[in-house]
Chains A and B, each alone.
Chain A
Amino acid sequence: MNRTVPVLGSIAGLLVLLAVGAFSGGYQIYIANLLLVFIVLSLGLHVVIGEAGQFALAHAAFYGIGIYVAALTTNAWGLPFPLPILAAGLVAGLIGIGLGAVALRMRDIYLALATFAFGEAMQWVFSTWTGVTGGPNGLHISPTRVFGITILNDTAAYPLMAALTVLMVVIAVLLSRSRAGRSFRAVRESEVAAVAMGVPVRRTKIAAFAISAAFAGVAGGMFSIFSTYINPDSLGFQTTITVLTMVVVGGLGSIFGAVSGAILFGLASEFLRQAPSYQEIIYGGILMFFMMFAPRGFFSGIADRLEASRRG
């Protein structure tokens, strides 16, 4: 892809961020905050599936870990921003290293199944460990404090959320362009070739898991900034599938795709919230449709067309 699309995309993205902050309120700003969380979640899944090609299905678990770590550190010790988010990213990342070390032994479907099992087991922990997580009753999250200011509503949280999202997008772009990003893609394309080129495959895979988990943890920390309540029901496989759909629709393997997929699909799923049955039909239909006709995603497809017409 040439440079025009990402550059124009970033400028448009920043303008949209500012416009949303300036012109919307109430419910819209709540949705905007939620979309920002989904963007960071998608970036995380993009790193492990899109870049490194490891089919991990435990994203919701790391997101949940991030939410609970941030909420508990805020509730118990009243830690000010950014400490709860850093803690959320760090703890999720460390557990990601653990899962990555285990996952080294598996490939493809075994990896998918093991991470799926890990995700389900974590959801069970969230809803059973009542002493810490509040169990099925959920957990109240105290307001976050930033430099002495207490964030009480969505509008106050938005600038912080937007800044964090931009930061995470920049980190994802830098990562993708770094030596680590190239190692991820080398491992994805061929482990044998990657080894031959001197890429440490084991370390690279663990790093992909850890970074992906840390992104999800940060997303969880971001959620705790504007939300006052968390319930383990929303941290199951359905959430992993939602994020996976976002990444697939946007285009596996592209940051631009992950971000735009999150926005497009996040909006769609918010509109469909009233009709869970249609939501399932549409999610399922979209996943199948894209796998059949546009495996590289909606936006990559458009970018390819642009590229082709320019050359043509």
Chain B
Amino acid sequence: MSLDVVILFLEQGIVSGLVIGSIYALLALALVIIFKTSEVPNFAQGEFYMAGAYVALFLVVFENIPTVLALPVTLVVCFLGAALFQKFVLTRVWKAKGSPINLVIATLGLSYLLKGLVRNTGFGDSPRTFPSLVSTDSITIGQASLTYLDATIFCTAVAVMIALFLLFNFTQLGRALRALGMNPKAAQLVGINLSRMNMVVWGLSGAISAAAAILVAPKLLVSADMGHVVIMAFAAAIVGGFASLPGAVVGGFVIGIAENLVGLFVSSQAIAVAPFLAILIVLLIRPQGLLGGRVALKKV
């Protein structure tokens, strides 16, 4: 492989990696905000994302509702869906037997339920295309090429991340959520409504997943199995330490770029196993993640 090709591959890999990585970063953020407050790895995250894509598809393609209206409605629907799941299912599971394993099994249950429901609606029988709102003409940066759609995905995703950053750092709600993540009991003592905050976190997570789905849907086919991509988000979250918001963002970009470079330099077959190897290696060598400060190990 000549040097020119290597440089071209590197540039293309990094540019494409940043685009897809921004989606992974959003999904990883959605996982991490839930984990920070509820200590639950949400195995239904991928299906929140899939459901978001289907709600948008249903409104835009089948009901012909104008996009300006349809997309906010999608976000609200996903916010409410996730929040209600937390309120009516998870609270009850926690009361039945206060064990994190039971919560995880409940999210696994939800992921299968949503997949089956979507397949049964009649929209989920075969993969569908989602219309692109921006042009798919390509532009070149350096030697790498990407489409206007790619650029839009990246910019919007970064805007969502900035909005989240502002929310968590500079609003009353964000401070309450952070307090909940640090010490639920103390948070309750200073007057934070725990059950409402938990609902807000799950709702936010659902809305972020839906946003990621709407952004990336025109690039891929919408199908009942599209939630598989969440494994990349798990890898990103683990790379970032699973409890750190900046970590999740960096992890998303790292995984996105690594995926593209592996595809270009090694083989497309190796892409399939790369995220699992990344998870295993990071958990083995640095279980607290590359950026995580808090050590996740509890020595006996």
Contact at A121–B96, with CB atoms within 8 Å? Answer: no
Q: Does B277 contact A (CB under 8 A)?
A: yes
Contact at A106–B283, with CB atoms within 8 Å? Answer: yes
Q: Which of A109, A248, A284 contacts B39 (CB 8 A)?
A: A109
Q: Does B276 contact A (CB under 8 A)?
A: yes
Contact at A113–B238, with CB atoms within 8 Å? Answer: yes
- Chain A residues within an 8 Å CB radius of B287: 105-106, 110
- Chain A residues within an 8 Å CB radius of B262: none
Q: Does A31 contact B (CB under 8 A)?
A: no
Contact at A278–B116, with CB atoms within 8 Å? Answer: yes
Contact at A117–B39, with CB atoms within 8 Å? Answer: no
Count CB-based A-B contacts (< 8 Å): 136
Q: Does B101 contact A (CB under 8 A)?
A: yes
- Chain A residues within an 8 Å CB radius of B269: 128
Nearest B residue to A280, CB-CB: B116
**Cβ distance A265 to chain B, nearest Cβ, rounded Å:** 13
Q: Does A92 contact B (CB under 8 A)?
A: no
Q: Does B105 contact A (CB under 8 A)?
A: yes
Q: Does A263 contact B (CB under 8 A)?
A: no
Q: Which of B109, B275, B284, B300 contacts A285 (CB 8 A)?
A: B109
Q: Does B234 contact A (CB under 8 A)?
A: yes
Contact at B35–A291, with CB atoms within 8 Å? Answer: no
B interface, over-half SS: helix
A44 vs B124: C-alpha distance when bound (angstroms): 35
**Cβ distance A97 to chain B, nearest Cβ, rounded Å:** 16
- Chain A residues within an 8 Å CB radius of B231: 120
- Chain A residues within an 8 Å CB radius of B100: 108-109
Q: Does A55 contact B (CB under 8 A)?
A: yes
Contact at A117–B113, with CB atoms within 8 Å? Answer: no
Nearest B residue to A286, CB-CB: B109
**Cβ distance A121 to chain B, nearest Cβ, rounded Å:** 4
Q: Most chain-A Cβ atoms within 10 A of its Cβ — which of B117, B273, B298?
A: B273
- Which residues of chain B from 84 to 125 have a CB within 8 Å of any chain A CB? 89, 92-93, 96-97, 99-106, 108-117, 119-120, 124
Task: Pick 10 A–B contacts, CB within 8 A, sort by A.
Answer: A53-B101, A109-B100, A191-B300, A280-B112, A281-B117, A284-B111, A287-B105, A289-B109, A291-B109, A295-B93
